[in-house]
């Protein structure tokens, strides 16, 4: 069955339908990872977006549900050059096509994803319309694309009630804005007792449990939209509890302390982004997934200083907060699969808690 992808700038791609058969309007973004398509599909940070994989062959090692980063698929649609029909992997239990059908995710294959990615790089991220109807109303599709926004995504992906993952070490409270399972694994394997709170939790309730540390997670959408959450994070900042934040959490902490964020032209999504630690001078390869960035020039230098920068474009990749036991990073030190260069930051978080209680 043919499928059609219309972009907001009027460009039309024709390919073959994969996954569920349904019509969607979404924000089109691209990911440069060569592997990890299952982790991409189950990353809550992709809620409200359709993902283009730049690597040409996707699905060749099938699906192992133990590798999922959450309990379901989140992207609105999946766009690939070629979908592998056969899976070669002893751990695989189903094909990617079967997974897309079961998760009700539509997609398209057989289009020039290189050309599509170049359009998004040159003209910026834009909305798109995916359909299998050859007689679709182009004017109506354009109207729907222009009206589309990613709204309320954090509330959609966050847990609804708090839960505890037992551990024998220090107590860490986590605000779930769309957490990935490997973040929980990285913290748990260090022996920490984890209490995971929904995104609408009150700072007073979190602090009342006297955590040794606070962890702010990744998540989808425009960080500035989360006004209530930003207000609560400011209260956590005003406490003396050590805080480690990743991705959206990094952006929310900057907003809570007077900084600003902005939408990037096409964002950073993939497993090969170089970042430099300004403290040590070392460069690391990192996994990233974000379309917004912190404007470090908007921050009071007495409040926070830039700790990490992106080697490619100089954008902010991390902040250390002055006089506070707080470190935030834009990239993903828990990458799975992906580079493990920066996983030491979880150990640094442990050190932050040790120093606080010394």
Q: Give the active site residues.
A: 247, 332, 334
Q: What is the rounded CA–CA span in Å between residue 211 and residue 209?
A: 6
Place of tokens 């991705």: 247
Task: Calculate ∠ Cα 259-260-264, nearest 5°.
Answer: 140
Q: Would you say 178 is a known binding-site residue?
A: no
Q: Would you say 292 is a known binding-site residue?
A: yes
- Go through the chain and tell me how many residues it has: 358
337 preceded by a cis bond (ω within 30 of 0): yes
Is residue 151 within 8 Å of residue 188, measured between CB atoms? no
Strands (E), 97-166: 106-109, 126-131, 163-165
Q: What is the rounded CA–CA span in Å between residue 232 and residue 238?
A: 10
Q: Would you say 291 is a known binding-site residue?
A: yes
Please list the helix, strand and coil fractions of the chain in percent, rounded to the nearest 5, in that order: 25, 35, 40
Nearest partner of 287 among 29, 33, 37, 44, judged by Cα? 33
Q: Would you say 127 is a known binding-site residue?
A: no
With b for 16 or more beta-carbon neighbours within 10 A and e for fewer, the 196-208 pattern comes to bbbbebebeebbe
Q: Would you say 96 is a known binding-site residue?
A: no
Q: Would you say 318 is a known binding-site residue?
A: no
Q: What is the rounded CA–CA span in Å between residue 68 and residue 259?
A: 34
**What residues contact residue 111 under an 8 Å CB cut-off, 6+ apart?**
5, 13, 14, 15, 79, 81
Is residue 26 within 8 Å of residue 39, measured between CB atoms? no
Can you spell out the DSSP letters for 167-232? -SS-EEEEE-SS--HHHHHHHHTTT-EEEEE-TT--HHHHHHT--SEEEE----S-GGG-HHHHHH
Taking the C-alpha atoms of 197, 202, 208 and 211 in order, what is their torsion angle to the nearest 10 degrees? 40
- Cβ neighbours, 10 Å, residue 110: 17
Q: Would you say 219 is a known binding-site residue?
A: yes
Q: Would you say 321 is a known binding-site residue?
A: no
Which residue ranges are tagged as binding site for L-glutamine?
Answer: 45, 219, 221, 248, 251, 289, 291-292
Q: Specify binding-site residues.
A: 45, 219, 221, 248, 251, 289, 291-292
């Amino acid at each position: 069955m043919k499928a059609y992808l219309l972009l907001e700038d009027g460009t039309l791609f024709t390919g073959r339908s994969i996954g569920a058969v349904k019509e969607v309007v979404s924000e089109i973004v691209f990911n440069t990872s060569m592997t990890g398509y299952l982790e991409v599909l189950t990353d809550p940070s992709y809620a409200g977006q359709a993902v283009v994989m730049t690597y040409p062959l996707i699905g060749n090692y099938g699906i192992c549900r133990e590798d999922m980063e959450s309990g379901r698929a989140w992207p609105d649609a999946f766009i690939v050059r070629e979908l592998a029909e056969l899976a070669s992997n002893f751990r695989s239990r189903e094909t990617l096509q079967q997974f897309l059908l079961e998760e009700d995710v539509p997609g398209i294959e057989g289009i020039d994803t290189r050309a599509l990615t170049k359009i998004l790089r040159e003209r910026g991220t834009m909305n798109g319309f995916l359909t299998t109807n050859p007689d679709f109303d182009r004017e109506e599709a354009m109207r729907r694309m222009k009206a589309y926004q990613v709204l309320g995504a954090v509330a959609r992906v966050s847990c609804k009630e708090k839960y505890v993952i037992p551990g024998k070490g220090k107590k860490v409270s986590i605000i779930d804005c769309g957490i990935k399972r490997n973040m929980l694994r990285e913290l748990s394997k260090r022996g920490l007792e984890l209490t995971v709170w929904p995104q609408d939790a009150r700072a007073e309730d979190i602090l009342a449990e006297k955590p040794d540390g606070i962890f702010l997670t990744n998540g989808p959408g425009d960080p500035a939209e989360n006004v209530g959450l930003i207000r609560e994070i400011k209260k956590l900042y005003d406490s003396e509890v050590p805080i480690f934040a990743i991705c959206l959490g990094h952006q929310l902490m900057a907003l809570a302390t007077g900084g600003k964020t902005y939408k990037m032209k096409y964002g950073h999504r993939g497993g090969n982004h170089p970042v430099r630690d300004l403290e040590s001078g070392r460069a690391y390869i990192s996994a990233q997934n974000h379309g917004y960035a912190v404007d470090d020039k908007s921050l009071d230098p007495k409040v926070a200083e830039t700790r990490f920068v992106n080697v490619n474009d100089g954008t902010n990749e991390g902040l250390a907060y002055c006089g506070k036991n707080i470190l935030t990073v834009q990239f993903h030190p828990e990458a799975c699969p992906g580079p493990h260069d920066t996983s030491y930051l979880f150990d640094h978080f442990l050190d932050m808690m040790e120093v606080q209680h010394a």
